[in-house]
Amino acid sequence: MQIRDHHQRAIDRLADAYRDDPRFRGLIIGGSVAKGFARDDSDVDFMIIASDEEYERRLGERDLFINRTDLSDYEGGFVDGKIIDLAHLEGVAEKGNEPSRAAFTGAFVAYSHIAGLEDLLQRIPVYPEAGHDERIRAFYSMAFIQHWLIHEAERHGNRYTTLRAASQLALFAGRLILAHNRRLFPYHKWLPRTLEAVPEKPDEFMSRFNELLDEPGGERATALFECIRDFRDWGVSDLDAYTWFMTDVEWSWMTDTTPIEDW
């Protein structure tokens, strides 16, 4: 990964600003700079690990962000960070959902006073094998339902539901392909770019994905859904998909389960 010189200068100044501050024990660089996705004008995202006392104080005051323009020397540049504690990192490594893990993809330590921080960081952006088959079934079922729903919305002339279902179909078709490749869901901003990079997907997947978002509607929804449906046998019948949606989405309040959007 090649970091632009002006981003590296901002990182160096950021590290110098906090390295000797006893309130902060380590600095992690993340975001587009760490992932290799940065533009010339991208900001530098970071996570700074506070001492337990400092974190509790700031949490109580709802003061968990650092945003500074004085540490960058390029037009529009700034550093933008979240204040966390070591327990946060340990929690993400143990039980974080996919977006929280993906936030650490490419992340690196700029300075540390914490033994083993590098090793802990390496354990976070790892695809969680436990529950893989369940995610495959759920994402396929959700795509199936959204495909059905967009046609219902068109039949009733419901523009809101048409747009909502198109977005959801693109999301869960994408999540299905990511899960098939055992790649973390990077949250919405980086989903198309991550999908473009995965090796195993239908040949026309990205075209169908983008066409549906460009012009939401039943015909393009069917093109995307059939693209994933025919890619392989997902082991989910139509009845399975309808039943899953009823019991695991509509009735999720009965079991206090995490909504699928937060997986």
Q: Give the separation between CA 14 and CA 224, rounded to whole angstroms.
A: 45
Spell out the domain ranges in the chain: 5-122, 132-262
Domain 132-262 has CATH 1.20.120: yes
Q: Running DSSP on this structure, what letter comes out for residue 204?
A: T
Percentage of the chain with pLDDT > 70?
A: 100
Q: Tell me the sheet residues that pair with 66.
A: 81
| Residue 157 in tokens | 């002339």
- Reduced to 3 states (helix: H, G, I; strand: E, B; else coil), residue 85 is coil
pLDDT tens for 42-56 read 999 999 999 999 999
CA dist 108 → 26, 55, 103, 113, 135 (Å):
11, 21, 11, 14, 29
| Residue 114 in tokens | 């914490």
Cβ atoms of 186 and 178 closer than 8 Å: no
Residue 257 scores a pLDDT above 90: no
pLDDT tens for 79-125 read 999 999 999 999 999 999 999 999 999 999 999 999 999 999 999 99
- Once rounded to an integer, what is the mean pLDDT over residues 123-144? 97
- Looking at residue 161, what is its pLDDT? 98
**Contacts of residue 139, Cβ cutoff 8 Å, sequence gap at least 6:** 172, 173, 175, 176, 179
Q: Give the separation between CA 127 and CA 175, rounded to whole angstroms.
A: 13
Residue with tokens 């700031």: 58
CATH topology of domain 5-122: Beta Polymerase; domain 2 (3.30.460)
pTM over cut 0.85? yes
Backbone dihedral angles phi then psi of residue 53, each to the nearest 5 degrees: -65, -45
Residue 1 scores a pLDDT above 80: no
